[in-house]
């Protein structure tokens, strides 16, 4: 681990951010998450960044390690897992906060994302897992959609056999991630993929409830190639066995 | 007409239906779908009303009769984020390209089918065997042998899945210890990809130690698409016996369609003869080490021990499915060449009556139709059993004839030389003169009938006893020993990130 600087202060929220080869895009990503952090701080919510650089290229390394948003409380972990799930688990294991939000290295969130999630979890209980209300995909594909709240009538458990209701970035109490770690998705070697889809199933099986943080949005960058999601689709990956499908 | 119907539906949907509860939408749209199917049977329509329900909402996304617009608060956020990434500016090109994405969030029919099938499986399983169905046929008999032996002799908990939408009258021949689930009817109607989703999910959740593909197309498709994932949890086997041939003589069938891409996923291919797999190795470069020959056990017969029929008889027996492979046209030519002989022909025809007109019109041919038991067909005046298949594996019916004590006149195709010495076979199924000569030899030399039957019975004793089958099956499926049963169970890869390696492809 490379600590930006040693800190023993416990934050309210750990923003777990995974980078590998985002290059200069990492700069904008960190600026946008810093924007979320500052917004949360105005409501008295402290936020630490727990960053993993997984076999990062030189440019990503340069951009992230020298980023102006980094503070003393933030941590950077240099790892070589070659796997997003393992990176997230690693970062969560090193996080010290009550709440954890997972962020991809090339996406943006609305300013209110962290603040709104903390407010909802404090008010509604830590059994909930929160997702943005709206996703805007941009880049190689431009589209937007509303996500599904598990308590709404649109939610059909059986639909999870063929569709993933919620994509990767989620916000929840840290104990949720500890109880349900992400599972490795080495699609080329093992044929399993969509770790977020699997995590969604596992968390439901463990009794957690996926809710929407209304008035929040995630801007999800869609690449023409090189995306994990596209790789999983092209390989016809399937999600690992899950207790969820034993309970249907 | 269809366009007007569709336009009217969309108008009513946007104006009225989409504002209703999901439950009510499912009911009403289900009815509309029924009408549409009745009115426009040629149209490709969605399969389930769940696919017609969109997550529009009316809260902040504009009037519901138009595609929802991006809410103003999202645009405001984009404006603010444009300071970081100008491409998000709401006045930039992005907003013009962003459209509402409507996914079929409520479409859960594959999930419901999965749940029904999963709940129909009453207990844990060690081995899953996928067949298209279980009805009259050599491959079906092979599946029965494998399933029953695994359950009754080798103590395995076996589940047989019938994946086609067809009856399985032979399911009643399965051991009571074997679970049987006919899933084809339930899967019928959903998208082919979703059918694979259901089967793969069943397998991944059931976690058998072995999945054995026995002529099920769906199972082959599952291995082709998700074999790598499946083999992390279980060993994959397939049974293949022979090629089929299309009308132009090209080899077709599961071996040709799937082996080249699926063989790295497979633990072994089980086959019933020594010849066909060598052709696949030579022509498709699949590894020789993949193949395991499993001679199926011979049937018992009420005639066991004796010689049936008579050299002085004036009749010949033919039995099998009347289709292109079995070459009833060749049989007709043989019957024409031997007008003084009666030909008793048994078996159902999968052809139109016109296709077997030659046979039907011959005065010395008696078409008896479907039969249940080979022993019942053998009469005192049968000289021999005639087999005219153009291609084959190792046909079970030849063992039935041998067990019943009837000499066999068969062509040198497929795995038949495993059972009858090549010198005693007709060169090819087209060799009508060869068949006629072989019949005359048997008539002229009664001791030849006896030695032919004795040779086949010796083969049965040597290679096709049930005990040998049990031992061979146990060996090639690498079934756990008693010590294994007491200790480690089947491989279970929990796959928590960073905890365990994966099983690579072989080959």
Answer yes or no: do B274 and B142 share one domain.
Answer: yes
Contact residues, chain A, for B80 at CB < 8 Å = 111
Q: Is B115 within 8 Å of A86 when comparing Cβ atoms?
A: no
Domain extent for A103: 2-247
Task: Establish if B483 belongs to a structural domain.
Answer: no
Out of A142, A190, A246, the one facing B502 most closely (by C-beta) is A190
Strand residue runs (E) in B354-430:
365-369, 382-386, 408-409
Determine the pLDDT at residue A7: 52
Contact residues, chain A, for B107 at CB < 8 Å = 156, 159, 162-163
Helix (H) or strand (E) holding B448: helix B446-463
Answer yes or no: do B150 and B262 share one domain.
Answer: yes
Which CATH number does the domain housing residue B344 bear? 3.40.50.2000
Asked whether residue B342 carries a pLDDT value surpassing 80, the answer given is yes
Q: What is the pLDDT of residues A91-133, one digit of tens each?
A: 999 999 999 999 999 899 999 999 999 999 999 999 999 999 9
Whether B495 has its CB under 8 Å from any CB of chain A: the answer is: yes
Could you give the percent of chain B with pLDDT greater than 90? 68
Task: Give the nearest chain B residue to A88 (CA atoms).
Answer: B497
Task: Establish if B86 belongs to a structural domain.
Answer: no
Residues 108-127 of A with CB under 8 A from B: 108, 110-111
Determine the pLDDT at residue B57: 45
How many Å lie between the alpha carbon of B299 and the closest alpha carbon of chain A?
A: 41
Q: What is the pLDDT of residues B445-468, one digit of tens each?
A: 989 999 999 999 999 999 999 999
C-alpha span between B364 and B360 (Å, rounded) = 9
pLDDT band at B105 (very low <50, low <70, confident <90, very high): confident
Asked whether residue B136 carries a pLDDT value surpassing 50, the answer given is yes
DSSP B214-233: SS-HHHHHHHHHHHHHHHHH
Those residues whose C-beta lies under 8 Å from the C-beta of residue B429, and which sit 6 or more positions away, are: B327, B330, B388, B389, B390, B411, B413
ipTM, two decimals: 0.93
Which CATH number does the domain housing residue A17 bear? 3.90.550.10
The 3-state secondary structure of chain A, one letter per residue: CEECCCCCCCCCEEEEEEECCCCCHHHHHHHHHHHHHHHHHCCCCCEEEEEEEECCCHHHHHHHHCCCCCCCCCEEEEECCCCHHHHHHHHHHHCCCCEEEEEECCCEECCCHHHHHHHHHHHHCCCEEEEEEEEEEEECCCEEEECCCCCCCCCCHHHHHCCCCCCCCCEEEHHHHHHCCCECCCHHHHCECCHHHHHHHHHHHCCCEEEEEEEEEEEEEECCCCCHHHHHHHCCCECCCCCHHHHC
Contact residues, chain B, for A241 at CB < 8 Å = 204-205, 207, 233
C-alpha span between B168 and B140 (Å, rounded) = 10
Answer yes or no: do B144 and B256 share one domain.
Answer: yes
Determine the pLDDT at residue A42: 98
The number of folded domains in chain A is 1
Whether A24 has its CB under 8 Å from any CB of chain B: the answer is: no
Answer yes or no: do B339 and B200 share one domain.
Answer: no
Answer yes or no: do B282 and B324 share one domain.
Answer: no
Answer yes or no: do B115 and B259 share one domain.
Answer: yes
List the one residue out of A22, A199, A213 whose CA is nearest residue A130. A213
- Evaluate whether B212 touches B220 at the Cβ level (below 8 Å): no
Determine the pLDDT at residue B491: 39
Contact residues, chain A, for B21 at CB < 8 Å = 153
Answer yes or no: do B51 and B125 share one domain.
Answer: no
Helix (H) or strand (E) holding B342: strand B342-346
User: Which of B4-8, B23-27, B186-190 reaches the highest mean pLDDT?
Assistant: B186-190
| pTM for the whole structure | 0.88
Asked whether residue B48 carries a pLDDT value surpassing 50, the answer given is yes
Contact residues, chain A, for B88 at CB < 8 Å = 108, 138, 219
C-alpha span between A70 and A88 (Å, rounded) = 19
Determine the pLDDT at residue B33: 85
List the one residue out of B112, B248, A45, B397 whose CA is nearest residue B410. B397
Out of A81, A145, A242, the one facing B103 most closely (by C-beta) is A145
The number of folded domains in chain B is 3
pLDDT band at A3 (very low <50, low <70, confident <90, very high): low
Compute how many other C-beta atoms are within 10 angstroms of the C-beta atom of residue A124.
12
Answer yes or no: do B266 and B326 share one domain.
Answer: no
Contact residues, chain A, for B229 at CB < 8 Å = 190-192, 237-238, 240
Task: Establish if B478 belongs to a structural domain.
Answer: no
Asked whether residue B59 carries a pLDDT value surpassing 70, the answer given is no
C-alpha span between B265 and B308 (Å, rounded) = 47
Compute how many other C-beta atoms are within 10 angstroms of the C-beta atom of residue B441.
16
Domain extent for B22: 2-81
Whether A160 has its CB under 8 Å from any CB of chain B: the answer is: yes
Answer yes or no: do B124 and B267 share one domain.
Answer: yes
Whether B273 has its CB under 8 Å from any CB of chain A: the answer is: no
pLDDT band at B499 (very low <50, low <70, confident <90, very high): very low
Q: Is A138 within 8 Å of B207 when comparing Cβ atoms?
A: no
Range name among A54-58, A228-232, B10-14, B161-165 with the lowest pLDDT average? A228-232
Out of B55, B81, B110, the one facing A32 most closely (by C-beta) is B81
Task: Establish if B189 belongs to a structural domain.
Answer: yes
């Amino acid at each position: 681990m490379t600590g930006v600087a040693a800190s023993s202060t416990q934050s309210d929220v750990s923003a777990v951010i995974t980078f590998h080869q985002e290059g200069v895009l990492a700069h904008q990503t960190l600026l946008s998450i810093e924007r979320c952090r500052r917004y949360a701080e105005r409501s008295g919510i402290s936020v630490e960044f727990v960053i993993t650089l997984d076999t990062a290229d030189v440019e990503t390394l340069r951009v992230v390690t020298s980023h102006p948003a980094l503070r003393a409380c933030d941590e950077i972990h240099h790892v070589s897992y070659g796997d997003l799930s393992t990176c997230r688990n690693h970062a969560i294991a090193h996080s010290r906060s009550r709440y954890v939000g997972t962020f991809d290295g090339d996406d943006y969130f609305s300013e209110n994302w962290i603040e709104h999630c903390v407010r909802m979890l404090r008010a509604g209980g830590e059994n909930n897992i929160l997702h943005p209300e709206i996703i805007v995909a941009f880049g190689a594909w431009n589209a937007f959609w509303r996500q599904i709240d598990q308590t709404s009538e649109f939610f059909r458990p059986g639909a999870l056999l063929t569709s993933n209701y919620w994509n990767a970035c989620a916000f929840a109490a840290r104990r949720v991630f500890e109880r349900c770690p992400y599972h490795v998705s080495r699609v080329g070697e093992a044929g399993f993929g969509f770790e977020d889809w699997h995590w969604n199933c596992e968390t439901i099986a463990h009794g957690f409830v996926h809710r929407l943080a209304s008035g929040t949005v995630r801007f999800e960058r869609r690449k023409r190639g090189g995306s994990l999601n596209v790789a999983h689709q092209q390989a016809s990956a399937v999600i690992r066995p899950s207790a969820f499908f034993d309970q249907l | 007409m269809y366009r007007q119907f569709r336009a009217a539906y969309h108008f009513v949907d946007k104006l009225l239906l989409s504002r209703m509860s999901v439950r009510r939408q499912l009911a009403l749209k289900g009815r509309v779908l029924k009408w549409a199917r009745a009115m426009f049977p040629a149209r490709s329509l969605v399969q389930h009303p769940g696919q017609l329900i969109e997550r529009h909402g009316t809260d902040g996304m504009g009037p519901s009769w138009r595609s929802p617009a991006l809410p103003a608060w999202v645009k405001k956020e984009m404006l603010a984020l444009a300071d970081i990434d100008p491409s998000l500016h709401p006045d930039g090109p992005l907003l013009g390209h962003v459209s509402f994405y409507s996914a079929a969030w409520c479409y859960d029919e594959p999930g419901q089918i999965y749940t029904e099938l999963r709940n129909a499986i009453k207990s844990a399983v060690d081995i899953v065997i996928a067949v298209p169905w279980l009805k009259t046929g050599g491959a079906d008999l092979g599946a029965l042998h494998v399933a029953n032996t695994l359950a009754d002799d080798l103590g395995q908990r076996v589940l047989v899945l019938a994946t086609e939408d067809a009856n399985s009258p032979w399911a009643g021949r399965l051991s009571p210890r074997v679970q049987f689930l006919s899933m084809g009817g339930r899967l019928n109607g959903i998208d082919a990809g979703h059918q694979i989703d259901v089967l793969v999910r069943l397998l991944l959740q059931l976690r058998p130690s072995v999945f054995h593909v026995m002529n099920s197309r769906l199972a082959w498709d599952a291995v082709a698409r998700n074999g790598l994932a499946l083999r992390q949890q279980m060993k994959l086997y397939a049974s293949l016996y022979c090629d089929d041939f299309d009308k132009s003589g090209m080899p077709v069938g599961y071996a040709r369609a799937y082996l080249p891409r699926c063989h790295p996923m497979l633990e072994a291919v089980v086959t019933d003869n020594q010849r066909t797999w060598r052709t696949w190795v030579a022509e498709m470069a699949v590894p020789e080490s993949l193949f395991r020959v499993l001679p199926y056990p011979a049937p018992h017969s009420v005639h066991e021990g004796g010689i049936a029929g008579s050299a002085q008889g004036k009749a010949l027996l033919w039995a099998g499915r009347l289709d292109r492979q079995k070459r009833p046209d060749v049989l007709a030519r043989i019957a024409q060449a031997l007008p003084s002989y009666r030909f008793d022909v048994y078996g159902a025809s999968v052809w139109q009556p016109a296709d077997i007109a030659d046979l039907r019109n011959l005065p010395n041919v008696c078409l008896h139709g479907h039969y249940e038991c080979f022993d019942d067909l053998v009469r005192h005046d049968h000289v021999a059993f005639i087999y005219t298949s153009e291609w084959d594996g190792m046909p079970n019916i030849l063992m039935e004839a041998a067990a019943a004590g009837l000499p066999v006149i068969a062509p040198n195709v497929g795995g038949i030389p495993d059972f009858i010495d090549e010198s005693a076979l007709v060169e090819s199924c087209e060799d009508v003169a060869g068949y006629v000569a072989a019949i005359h030899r048997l008539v002229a030399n009664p001791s030849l009938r006896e030695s032919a039957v004795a040779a086949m019975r010796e083969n049965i004793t040597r290679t096709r006893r049930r005990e040998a089958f049990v031992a061979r099956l146990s060996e090639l499926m690498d079934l756990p020993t008693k010590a294994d049963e007491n200790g480690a169970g089947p491989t279970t890869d929990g796959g928590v990130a960073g905890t365990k390696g994966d099983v690579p492809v072989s080959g």
